[in-house]
A = this chain, B = another copy of it.
Amino acid sequence: MTAKIPVVENILSANDALAGQIQAQLDQAAVLALNVMASPGGGKTSVILRTVRALMDEVRIGVMDGDIVEIDLRELAALGLPVSLINTGGQCHLDANMVLRALPSMNLGALDLLIIENVGNLICPAAFKLGVHFNIVIASVPEGADKPYKYPSMFRGADVLLLNKMDLQEYMDFDVDYFRQGVEALNPGVAFFPVSCRTGEGLDAWFAWLRAQLNSRSAAG
């Protein structure tokens, strides 16, 4: 009856070992990497597009996308960025093995920043480390303020939390205090940025945070 738990642990520890290999490759190439996670339609692609447009004249950026179709990559590819589709075949999350196998498709020596767009899902991706430096979780106003209470692993594991679609707040009942309380209980002091990819509101603070990380790494390297 207890046989299931060790199996899950084996999968996750095997994943963690592969994640360590990814992080070693990234660090050797001095590439900062982000794992971007959200619900379906929470705004992963919009945040990535906004971020790329803001920073692409300063740093060299590549994007990997865990998906079954290349829709989200078209606009990025049109910007001249190196992009790579990790075809998940309908899987519910990216794991370190998928990312490790896809890494050779990116020329890490020609990048400063690698953005990995995970599968749209608030549960499964939280369990699989990808060897990145920061987990970026995007929540969005229309999903409702109760999400931290219902998807605690995702919110607990966030290094940065963006609350997207703030432009819709005036049309709906979103209790920001209730949302913040839920987040703080799980992840006190997490970097938090309320933003709107539609209007651009709040994004400068997120860009400044990311610039600071990139600068501190290049100063150390």
Q: Are A41 and B143 in contact (CB under 8 A)?
A: yes
Q: Are B119 and A120 in contact (CB under 8 A)?
A: no
A140 to chain B, nearest CB (A): 7
A90 / chain B contacts, CB cutoff of 8 Å? 123, 152-153
Q: Please, how many residues of chain A have a CB less than 8 angstroms from a CB on the other chain?
A: 33
Beyond A121-B123, A122-B120, whether A147 also contacts B71 by CB under 8 A is: no
Q: Is A165 an interface residue (CB 8 A)?
A: yes
Q: Is A29 an interface residue (CB 8 A)?
A: no
Contact partner, A171, options B143, B146, B149, B168, Cβ 8 Å: B168
Q: Could you write out 24 A-B pairs with CB less than 8 Å apart?
A: A39-B39, A39-B40, A39-B41, A39-B120, A39-B143, A40-B122, A40-B147, A40-B150, A40-B151, A41-B140, A41-B142, A68-B150, A69-B150, A71-B146, A71-B149, A90-B152, A119-B123, A120-B122, A120-B150, A124-B124, A142-B142, A142-B165, A142-B168, A168-B171
Q: Which residues of A contact B (CB under 8 A)?
A: 39-41, 67-69, 71, 90-92, 119-124, 140, 142-144, 146-147, 149-153, 165, 167-168, 171-172, 198
